[in-house]
Amino acid sequence: MALRSQTPSSPVAIGGSTSDRRWSVGTLTYTSAGLCALFAWLLWGDFAWQLKERAATPVAQLMLRQFGSSDLLVSILVGSVPAALGMILGPIVSVRSDRHRGRWGRRIPYLLVPTPFIVIGMAGLAWTPALGAWMHQLWGAGSPGADVCRLIAFTFFWGLFEIFTVIANAVFGGLINDVVPPALIGRFFGLFRAVSLLAGIIFNFWLIGHAEEHFTAIFLVLAFVYGAGFAIMCLRVKEGDYPPPPPPALKTNRIAPVKAYLRECYSKPFYLWVFVALMLGNLAGGPVNSFSVFYAKSIGMDMTTYGKLLVATYVSSFALSFFLGWLADKFHPIRVGLVAMGLYAAVMLWGGIAATDTARFGVAFIAHGVLTGTFFTGTASLGQRLFPATKFAQFASAAGILGALGYVVLPPATGLWLDLTGHVYRHTFTASGLLALLALGAFAKVYQSYRALGGDAGYRAQE
């Protein structure tokens, strides 16, 4: 069970034998059984979350293609719109969450309240064809066309879905930071990654091959699983007590909070390099991820085979996930990020030259999945290791702003380029490889600065 202490306790394991061992973070202290229960509820919520994340985007892409959308429009709706929403809403929600104090904690309200709106968004997406047909009939001669009506309905519910997904996403990592003992954070994210991969295996092995014909049923199932699973996690996980937040800026000076946010997050070169490294590392897989479905179809691969390729990457990454979390705890996420980006750059540049048929596409695509998975798992705890604990969500949102800027620009630029060059999807591997080289350089700079700030033995987060 989780116990609350009256004063903040050290974020370490205490106790000698296994039977009396305690794990502490903030004012929370866990027995071994309590820690297992915490992990179980967080991982259950993550499974519901990741099933939604793994399935919603590829199903939405296939729906948009059925509605006659171009690569540019697909990339804007599925890539740039969520990134732009994250850039606008992420900082607001994260700062409010850091400062919030209430009976339910400072994170749970921002996770629980968006849940029904996300469910409504997915249910609306499920009925988009029927709603579009109804609009087309209602408008009669003034209708812009059946496909345009479907796109209007899709855009409305996709926007609703993404707005509240962004709100919840802005604080989910903060909840983990607040309730998981730091000594176990890397291994926890390894388990987190394993659950994410399990969700991907389930979707891509059994469902993606039927997505074009049965997306209504898929979105309805996703809505139910997410709504039930995530709500249960929010109700079962308990936060500790937090020290009072600093006094807010005077309401007469509306610009002061913005200036304080920018000064605190972006005035230190070390954090700027961390933000850039994470942005480039997360963006590196973007060109391949955004168009891999269309790439597979362009070389004659059916969706069932494509789904099995994804399953192969997920199974491989699943087997590695806990080991990678251990590596991050043992050797630091910066070092794992360096190795992962170096390997990824080499393989993607090869794929840009050689992946011209289904066999070589399969090799490059599996390597893409495993190596990006290695990066995500190995660096998942980087913010927890480097950012100030009292303002973790704020600094995570600052990193997210740069990432969002990249996602606002990169997907439509890639989509427009593919539209103009005849949809040669092989070049998405080249683009990912070049981005990985830039990420490798940024991580090298972060590592150099980390060592100068004390390294493994003496690093302290700069306030």
pLDDT of residue 9: 38
Interatomic CA distance for residues 37 and 43, integer angstroms: 10
Sign of CA dihedral 171, 177, 178, 179: positive
Backbone angles phi, psi at 291, to 5 degrees: -130, 15
Interatomic CA distance for residues 372 and 432, integer angstroms: 10
Structural domain count, the chain: 1
- Taking the CA atoms of residue 61, residue 62, residue 68 and residue 74 in that order, the dihedral angle to the nearest 10 degrees is 10
- Residue 48 falls within a domain, yes or no? yes
The single-letter DSSP state of residue 184 is G
- Residue 204 falls within a domain, yes or no? yes
Q: What mean pLDDT is reported for the chain?
A: 87
Interatomic CA distance for residues 367 and 384, integer angstroms: 28
Structure tokens given for 171: 């604080």
Give the confidence band of 17 by pLDDT, cuts at 50, 70, 90: very low
- Residue 247 falls within a domain, yes or no? no
pLDDT of residue 326: 87
pLDDT of residue 1: 45
Whether pLDDT at 44 is above 90: yes
| Share above pLDDT 70 across residues of the chain, in percent, rounded to a whole number | 94
- Residue 121 falls within a domain, yes or no? yes
pLDDT of residue 87: 83
Whether pLDDT at 154 is above 70: yes
CB atoms within 10 A of CB 3: 14
The label of the residue with tokens 């994470």 reads 278
pLDDT of residue 322: 84
Backbone angles phi, psi at 70, to 5 degrees: -80, 170
- Residue 61 falls within a domain, yes or no? yes
Interatomic CA distance for residues 21 and 48, integer angstroms: 31
pLDDT digits (tens, 9 = 90+) for 64-74: 988 888 878 88
pLDDT of residue 338: 96
Whether pLDDT at 3 is above 60: no
Mean pLDDT of 269-293: 92
Residue 220: CATH number of its domain: 1.20.1250.20
- Residue 463 falls within a domain, yes or no? no
pLDDT digits (tens, 9 = 90+) for 423-437: 888 889 999 999 999
Structure tokens given for 142: 């003034």
Interatomic CA distance for residues 394 and 383, integer angstroms: 11
Domain containing 286 equals 2-242+252-458
Task: Kindly report the length of the chain.
Answer: 463
Give the confidence band of 2 by pLDDT, cuts at 50, 70, 90: low
- Residue 154 falls within a domain, yes or no? yes
Mean pLDDT of 410-424: 81
- Residue 355 falls within a domain, yes or no? yes
pLDDT digits (tens, 9 = 90+) for 163-194: 999 999 989 988 998 999 988 888 888 888 78
pLDDT digits (tens, 9 = 90+) for 301-347: 888 888 888 888 888 888 888 889 889 988 999 999 999 999 999 99
pLDDT of residue 357: 87
Structure tokens given for 191: 């388990």
What pTM does this model have? Answer: 0.70
